Homo-oligomer: A and B are copies of this chain.
Amino acid sequence: MDDLARLISVEEIKALKARYFRGIDEKNRPLLESLFTDDVTLDYRGAATDPSSGVNAMPEATEAVLHGLKTSVDAMMRSIEGVVSVHHGMMPEIEITSERTAKAIWPMTDRLKFTGGGAVAELTGHGHYHETYERISRDWKIKTLKLTRFRVDIVLA
């Protein structure tokens, strides 16, 4: 893969991840469905738990690894029902590992405001996405995602 093709892929993966953040925050199901491989694996385990209190703000989406496009998007859509969410990605480390594969470490912050009347009012989290990508015909897609955390703060309602 030449230098120009690699740069183009890096830029396309950045735009892919930008659509991931917008897809969640807009609760945009078709956009989310366009982001992942059919065999995607999403691992958000532990990502909604405040280590100081042990409270888990999103048990359904964070207690098991999600497998497959439909299951994953279903779980994502359910987890943001009644939530005003803001997800931001910062400076990534992206490595193109072949013409059809890539990986990245992506710093992130999310701010969730729960409006459904449950026990949790707000969650603010900071961590890294550890991701791999696959190029399916023309388009880069997210193949695996694991979210690790430095810090999760939960405000009870």
Name A's B-contacting residues (CB within 8 A). Answer: 3-4, 7-8, 10-11, 14-15, 17-19, 21-22, 25, 84-86, 88-94, 105, 107, 109, 111, 113, 126, 128, 150-151
Contacts and interface: CB of A to CB of B under 8 A. Distances in A.
Contacts of A151: 84, 86, 111, 113
Contacts of A3: 4, 8
Contacts of A86: 109, 126, 150-151
Q: State the copy count for this chain.
A: 3
A142 to B, nearest CB: 14
A151 B14 CA distance: 24
Nearest to A126: B86
A80 to B, nearest CB: 11
A10 B11 CA distance: 9
6 contacts: A7-B7, A7-B11, A15-B93, A18-B91, A90-B90, A113-B151
Contact of A89 (B4, B8, B19, B90): B90
Nearest to A151: B84
A153 to B, nearest CB: 9
Given A17-B91, A85-B150, 19 more contacts: A4-B4, A4-B7, A7-B7, A10-B11, A15-B91, A15-B92, A15-B94, A18-B90, A21-B90, A21-B91, A22-B93, A22-B105, A25-B150, A86-B109, A88-B90, A88-B91, A89-B91, A111-B126, A111-B151
A91 B14 contact: yes
